[in-house]
A and B are shown apart, each in its own frame.
Chain A
Amino acid sequence: MEKQLDHLKELSEIRNLMERSSRFISLSGLSGIAVGAVALLGSCVACWYLGFMPNEYSLIMHLYTTPNSVLMENLTFLATDAMFILVSAILLGIYFTNRNAKKKSINIWDRTTRRLLLNLAIPLAVGAVFCLILLQHGVLYLIAPATLIFYGLALVNASKYTLDDLKYLGYMEIGLGLLSAWFYGHGMIAWMIGFGVLHIVYGTVMYYKYER
Protein backbone atom coordinates (compact mmCIF):
# COMPACT_ATOMS: atom_id res chain seq x y z
CA MET A 1 0.00 0.00 0.00
CA GLU A 2 2.80 2.38 0.91
CA LYS A 3 4.58 1.54 -2.33
CA GLN A 4 1.42 2.35 -4.22
CA LEU A 5 1.19 5.76 -2.57
CA ASP A 6 4.81 6.38 -3.50
CA HIS A 7 4.08 5.64 -7.14
CA LEU A 8 1.03 7.87 -7.09
CA LYS A 9 3.09 10.68 -5.62
CA GLU A 10 5.74 10.13 -8.26
CA LEU A 11 3.17 10.32 -11.05
CA SER A 12 1.65 13.53 -9.73
CA GLU A 13 5.11 15.05 -9.34
CA ILE A 14 5.88 14.25 -12.98
CA ARG A 15 2.58 15.71 -14.09
CA ASN A 16 3.20 18.87 -12.14
CA LEU A 17 6.70 19.24 -13.55
CA MET A 18 5.53 18.75 -17.14
CA GLU A 19 2.76 21.30 -16.64
CA ARG A 20 4.95 23.83 -14.89
CA SER A 21 7.78 23.61 -17.42
CA SER A 22 5.64 23.97 -20.53
CA ARG A 23 2.79 26.29 -19.57
CA PHE A 24 2.52 29.63 -17.84
CA ILE A 25 0.17 28.74 -14.99
CA SER A 26 0.40 31.82 -12.77
CA LEU A 27 -2.19 33.81 -14.71
CA SER A 28 -4.57 34.97 -12.00
CA GLY A 29 -8.33 35.21 -12.27
CA LEU A 30 -8.12 38.41 -10.23
CA SER A 31 -6.15 39.94 -13.13
CA GLY A 32 -9.13 39.31 -15.39
CA ILE A 33 -11.54 40.87 -12.92
CA ALA A 34 -9.32 43.94 -12.46
CA VAL A 35 -8.79 44.40 -16.22
CA GLY A 36 -12.53 44.11 -16.85
CA ALA A 37 -13.37 46.59 -14.10
CA VAL A 38 -10.88 49.15 -15.44
CA ALA A 39 -12.26 48.73 -18.97
CA LEU A 40 -15.85 49.24 -17.80
CA LEU A 41 -14.89 52.24 -15.69
CA GLY A 42 -12.89 53.79 -18.54
CA SER A 43 -15.68 53.41 -21.09
CA CYS A 44 -18.24 54.81 -18.62
CA VAL A 45 -15.99 57.84 -18.16
CA ALA A 46 -15.85 58.26 -21.96
CA CYS A 47 -19.65 58.06 -22.29
CA TRP A 48 -20.16 60.46 -19.41
CA TYR A 49 -17.70 62.98 -20.86
CA LEU A 50 -19.32 62.88 -24.28
CA GLY A 51 -22.83 62.94 -22.83
CA PHE A 52 -23.42 59.76 -24.79
CA MET A 53 -25.34 56.57 -24.03
CA PRO A 54 -23.39 53.39 -24.75
CA ASN A 55 -26.33 51.82 -26.57
CA GLU A 56 -26.74 54.85 -28.83
CA TYR A 57 -26.49 53.90 -32.49
CA SER A 58 -23.01 55.08 -33.38
CA LEU A 59 -20.24 56.72 -31.44
CA ILE A 60 -18.68 57.82 -34.71
CA MET A 61 -21.85 59.55 -35.88
CA HIS A 62 -22.03 61.18 -32.50
CA LEU A 63 -18.47 62.48 -32.86
CA TYR A 64 -19.00 63.81 -36.36
CA THR A 65 -22.15 65.71 -35.52
CA THR A 66 -20.21 67.77 -33.00
CA PRO A 67 -18.54 71.01 -34.16
CA ASN A 68 -14.92 70.77 -35.26
CA SER A 69 -13.39 72.61 -32.32
CA VAL A 70 -15.15 70.29 -29.86
CA LEU A 71 -14.26 67.24 -31.96
CA MET A 72 -10.51 67.69 -31.49
CA GLU A 73 -11.01 68.12 -27.77
CA ASN A 74 -13.20 65.01 -27.63
CA LEU A 75 -10.71 62.90 -29.56
CA THR A 76 -7.85 64.02 -27.30
CA PHE A 77 -9.90 63.08 -24.27
CA LEU A 78 -10.80 59.68 -25.73
CA ALA A 79 -7.16 58.94 -26.58
CA THR A 80 -6.02 59.90 -23.07
CA ASP A 81 -8.79 57.81 -21.56
CA ALA A 82 -7.82 54.82 -23.74
CA MET A 83 -4.13 55.12 -22.80
CA PHE A 84 -5.08 55.32 -19.13
CA ILE A 85 -7.22 52.16 -19.44
CA LEU A 86 -4.46 50.30 -21.29
CA VAL A 87 -1.67 51.18 -18.85
CA SER A 88 -3.68 50.51 -15.68
CA ALA A 89 -5.06 47.24 -17.13
CA ILE A 90 -1.53 46.01 -17.90
CA LEU A 91 -0.19 47.08 -14.48
CA LEU A 92 -3.08 45.48 -12.59
CA GLY A 93 -2.79 42.31 -14.69
CA ILE A 94 0.90 42.05 -13.87
CA TYR A 95 0.32 42.82 -10.19
CA PHE A 96 -2.22 40.06 -9.56
CA THR A 97 -0.38 37.51 -11.70
CA ASN A 98 2.86 38.26 -9.87
CA ARG A 99 1.07 37.80 -6.56
CA ASN A 100 -0.31 34.46 -7.72
CA ALA A 101 3.14 33.32 -8.88
CA LYS A 102 4.66 34.23 -5.51
CA LYS A 103 1.94 32.28 -3.71
CA LYS A 104 2.74 29.22 -5.83
CA SER A 105 6.48 30.04 -5.55
CA ILE A 106 6.91 29.96 -9.31
CA ASN A 107 9.32 32.20 -11.17
CA ILE A 108 7.19 34.71 -13.10
CA TRP A 109 9.77 35.46 -15.80
CA ASP A 110 10.95 32.34 -17.59
CA ARG A 111 10.69 30.70 -20.97
CA THR A 112 6.98 29.93 -20.58
CA THR A 113 6.28 33.64 -19.90
CA ARG A 114 8.20 34.79 -22.94
CA ARG A 115 6.51 32.18 -25.13
CA LEU A 116 3.05 33.20 -23.87
CA LEU A 117 3.71 36.90 -24.49
CA LEU A 118 5.15 36.27 -27.95
CA ASN A 119 2.15 34.19 -29.00
CA LEU A 120 -0.22 36.77 -27.57
CA ALA A 121 1.67 39.58 -29.32
CA ILE A 122 1.66 38.21 -32.89
CA PRO A 123 -2.12 38.37 -33.56
CA LEU A 124 -2.37 41.57 -31.52
CA ALA A 125 0.30 43.30 -33.60
CA VAL A 126 -1.40 42.21 -36.83
CA GLY A 127 -4.71 43.46 -35.42
CA ALA A 128 -3.20 46.81 -34.49
CA VAL A 129 -1.78 47.32 -37.98
CA PHE A 130 -5.10 46.25 -39.51
CA CYS A 131 -6.98 48.77 -37.36
CA LEU A 132 -4.59 51.53 -38.45
CA ILE A 133 -5.32 50.58 -42.07
CA LEU A 134 -9.07 50.76 -41.34
CA LEU A 135 -8.50 54.17 -39.79
CA GLN A 136 -6.53 55.30 -42.83
CA HIS A 137 -9.38 54.24 -45.15
CA GLY A 138 -11.96 55.83 -42.86
CA VAL A 139 -13.77 52.55 -42.12
CA LEU A 140 -14.14 53.60 -38.50
CA TYR A 141 -17.23 51.53 -37.75
CA LEU A 142 -15.27 48.27 -38.14
CA ILE A 143 -12.46 49.20 -35.75
CA ALA A 144 -14.21 48.09 -32.54
CA PRO A 145 -15.26 44.72 -34.04
CA ALA A 146 -11.73 44.22 -35.45
CA THR A 147 -10.09 44.82 -32.05
CA LEU A 148 -12.41 42.21 -30.49
CA ILE A 149 -11.78 39.65 -33.24
CA PHE A 150 -7.99 39.99 -33.17
CA TYR A 151 -7.92 40.02 -29.37
CA GLY A 152 -9.96 36.80 -29.39
CA LEU A 153 -7.60 35.19 -31.91
CA ALA A 154 -4.63 36.22 -29.75
CA LEU A 155 -6.22 34.57 -26.71
CA VAL A 156 -6.97 31.34 -28.59
CA ASN A 157 -3.38 31.29 -29.86
CA ALA A 158 -1.92 32.01 -26.41
CA SER A 159 -4.12 29.45 -24.64
CA LYS A 160 -1.78 26.69 -25.83
CA TYR A 161 0.90 28.16 -23.58
CA THR A 162 -1.13 28.87 -20.44
CA LEU A 163 -4.35 27.70 -18.79
CA ASP A 164 -6.33 25.96 -21.50
CA ASP A 165 -9.54 27.71 -20.37
CA LEU A 166 -8.30 30.96 -21.89
CA LYS A 167 -9.44 29.72 -25.30
CA TYR A 168 -13.11 29.93 -24.26
CA LEU A 169 -12.68 33.62 -23.50
CA GLY A 170 -11.04 33.89 -26.93
CA TYR A 171 -13.96 32.19 -28.70
CA MET A 172 -16.43 34.52 -27.00
CA GLU A 173 -14.43 37.62 -27.97
CA ILE A 174 -14.27 36.42 -31.61
CA GLY A 175 -18.02 35.68 -31.65
CA LEU A 176 -18.84 39.04 -30.14
CA GLY A 177 -16.51 40.76 -32.63
CA LEU A 178 -18.20 39.08 -35.62
CA LEU A 179 -21.67 39.92 -34.25
CA SER A 180 -20.75 43.56 -33.77
CA ALA A 181 -19.26 43.67 -37.27
CA TRP A 182 -22.54 42.37 -38.73
CA PHE A 183 -24.74 44.68 -36.65
CA TYR A 184 -22.22 47.50 -36.91
CA GLY A 185 -22.63 50.77 -35.09
CA HIS A 186 -22.77 49.28 -31.62
CA GLY A 187 -19.02 49.34 -31.13
CA MET A 188 -19.12 50.97 -27.72
CA ILE A 189 -21.50 48.49 -26.14
CA ALA A 190 -19.65 45.56 -27.78
CA TRP A 191 -16.40 46.88 -26.31
CA MET A 192 -17.91 47.20 -22.86
CA ILE A 193 -19.20 43.62 -23.02
CA GLY A 194 -16.02 42.19 -24.59
CA PHE A 195 -13.32 43.92 -22.60
CA GLY A 196 -15.36 44.61 -19.48
CA VAL A 197 -18.05 42.05 -18.73
CA LEU A 198 -16.38 39.00 -20.33
CA HIS A 199 -13.09 39.64 -18.50
CA ILE A 200 -14.90 39.92 -15.18
CA VAL A 201 -16.93 36.74 -15.79
CA TYR A 202 -13.86 34.80 -16.98
CA GLY A 203 -11.72 36.09 -14.11
CA THR A 204 -14.34 35.13 -11.53
CA VAL A 205 -14.73 31.61 -12.95
CA MET A 206 -10.93 31.13 -13.03
CA TYR A 207 -10.53 32.45 -9.51
CA TYR A 208 -13.03 30.00 -8.08
CA LYS A 209 -11.74 27.13 -10.21
CA TYR A 210 -8.00 27.42 -9.50
CA GLU A 211 -7.28 29.83 -6.66
CA ARG A 212 -9.79 28.95 -3.96
Chain B
Amino acid sequence: MKDILSDLNKAFESRVRLGIMAILMVNDFADFNTLKDMLEVSDGNLASHISALEKLEYLSVEKKFVGKKTNTIYAATDAGRKAFKDHLDALERLIRGS
Protein backbone atom coordinates (compact mmCIF):
# COMPACT_ATOMS: atom_id res chain seq x y z
CA MET B 1 0.00 0.00 0.00
CA LYS B 2 2.78 2.38 0.93
CA ASP B 3 4.48 1.77 -2.40
CA ILE B 4 1.45 2.77 -4.40
CA LEU B 5 0.93 5.92 -2.37
CA SER B 6 4.46 7.05 -3.11
CA ASP B 7 3.67 6.87 -6.82
CA LEU B 8 1.25 9.74 -6.40
CA ASN B 9 3.02 12.88 -7.48
CA LYS B 10 3.28 15.49 -4.75
CA ALA B 11 3.22 18.22 -7.38
CA PHE B 12 -0.33 17.23 -8.26
CA GLU B 13 -1.74 17.39 -4.75
CA SER B 14 -3.24 20.74 -5.62
CA ARG B 15 -6.45 20.61 -7.61
CA VAL B 16 -5.39 23.66 -9.63
CA ARG B 17 -2.06 22.19 -10.68
CA LEU B 18 -3.70 18.92 -11.67
CA GLY B 19 -6.30 20.92 -13.59
CA ILE B 20 -3.70 22.95 -15.49
CA MET B 21 -1.95 19.77 -16.59
CA ALA B 22 -5.26 18.10 -17.55
CA ILE B 23 -6.12 21.00 -19.86
CA LEU B 24 -2.65 21.07 -21.40
CA MET B 25 -2.76 17.30 -22.03
CA VAL B 26 -5.64 17.61 -24.49
CA ASN B 27 -4.82 21.02 -25.95
CA ASP B 28 -1.63 21.83 -27.82
CA PHE B 29 -1.46 25.06 -25.84
CA ALA B 30 -3.60 27.36 -23.71
CA ASP B 31 -3.32 30.99 -22.67
CA PHE B 32 -3.67 32.42 -19.19
CA ASN B 33 -7.29 33.52 -19.51
CA THR B 34 -8.44 30.18 -20.90
CA LEU B 35 -6.88 28.41 -17.92
CA LYS B 36 -8.42 30.94 -15.55
CA ASP B 37 -11.93 30.56 -16.99
CA MET B 38 -11.72 26.79 -17.03
CA LEU B 39 -10.40 26.39 -13.49
CA GLU B 40 -12.29 29.32 -11.96
CA VAL B 41 -9.39 30.59 -9.87
CA SER B 42 -7.92 34.03 -9.18
CA ASP B 43 -5.04 35.50 -11.20
CA GLY B 44 -2.56 35.30 -8.32
CA ASN B 45 -3.49 31.76 -7.41
CA LEU B 46 -3.17 30.55 -10.99
CA ALA B 47 0.12 32.38 -11.55
CA SER B 48 1.74 30.81 -8.50
CA HIS B 49 0.68 27.31 -9.54
CA ILE B 50 1.92 27.90 -13.08
CA SER B 51 5.34 29.02 -11.88
CA ALA B 52 5.55 25.95 -9.62
CA LEU B 53 4.88 23.70 -12.62
CA GLU B 54 7.32 25.70 -14.71
CA LYS B 55 10.05 25.16 -12.10
CA LEU B 56 9.45 21.42 -12.31
CA GLU B 57 9.70 21.79 -16.11
CA TYR B 58 6.25 20.24 -16.52
CA LEU B 59 5.12 23.12 -18.72
CA SER B 60 6.77 25.54 -21.11
CA VAL B 61 5.99 29.24 -21.29
CA GLU B 62 6.05 31.28 -24.47
CA LYS B 63 5.30 34.97 -24.79
CA LYS B 64 3.66 36.10 -27.99
CA PHE B 65 2.76 39.59 -29.11
CA VAL B 66 -0.76 40.23 -30.35
CA GLY B 67 -0.45 43.81 -31.57
CA LYS B 68 0.93 45.63 -28.56
CA LYS B 69 -0.44 43.22 -25.98
CA THR B 70 1.53 40.23 -24.79
CA ASN B 71 -0.19 36.91 -24.74
CA THR B 72 1.48 34.20 -22.72
CA ILE B 73 0.99 30.69 -23.96
CA TYR B 74 1.52 27.52 -21.97
CA ALA B 75 2.16 24.01 -23.22
CA ALA B 76 2.90 20.70 -21.49
CA THR B 77 6.43 19.37 -21.83
CA ASP B 78 7.22 15.68 -22.38
CA ALA B 79 8.27 15.39 -18.74
CA GLY B 80 4.99 16.98 -17.70
CA ARG B 81 2.97 14.57 -19.83
CA LYS B 82 4.78 11.60 -18.38
CA ALA B 83 4.35 12.85 -14.80
CA PHE B 84 0.65 13.43 -15.36
CA LYS B 85 0.14 9.97 -16.88
CA ASP B 86 2.06 8.29 -14.06
CA HIS B 87 -0.04 10.15 -11.53
CA LEU B 88 -3.28 9.05 -13.18
CA ASP B 89 -2.05 5.46 -13.35
CA ALA B 90 -1.25 5.57 -9.65
CA LEU B 91 -4.70 6.97 -8.87
CA GLU B 92 -6.29 4.20 -10.91
CA ARG B 93 -4.28 1.51 -9.12
CA LEU B 94 -5.31 2.98 -5.78
CA ILE B 95 -8.99 2.80 -6.69
CA ARG B 96 -8.77 -0.68 -8.17
CA GLY B 97 -6.35 -2.14 -5.63
CA SER B 98 -8.29 -1.61 -2.45
* Chain A contacts to B: CB under 8 angstroms: 3-4, 7-8, 10-11, 13-14, 17-18, 20-22, 107, 110-111
Contacts and interface: CB of A to CB of B under 8 A. Distances in A.
Question: At the interface, is chain B mostly helix, strand, loop or mixed?
Answer: helix
B15 interface: yes
Interface of B: 15, 18-19, 22-23, 25-27, 30, 34, 37-39, 88, 91-92, 94-95, 98
A14 B26 CA distance: 11
Contacts of B95: 4, 7-8, 11
Nearest to A107: B37
A111 B71 CA distance: 15
Given A4-B94, A4-B98, A22-B27, A14 B34 contact: no
Contact of B34 (A3, A7, A13, A110): A110
Question: At the interface, is chain A mostly helix, strand, loop or mixed?
Answer: helix
A10 B18 contact: yes
B38 A17 contact: yes
Contacts of A14: 18-19, 22, 88
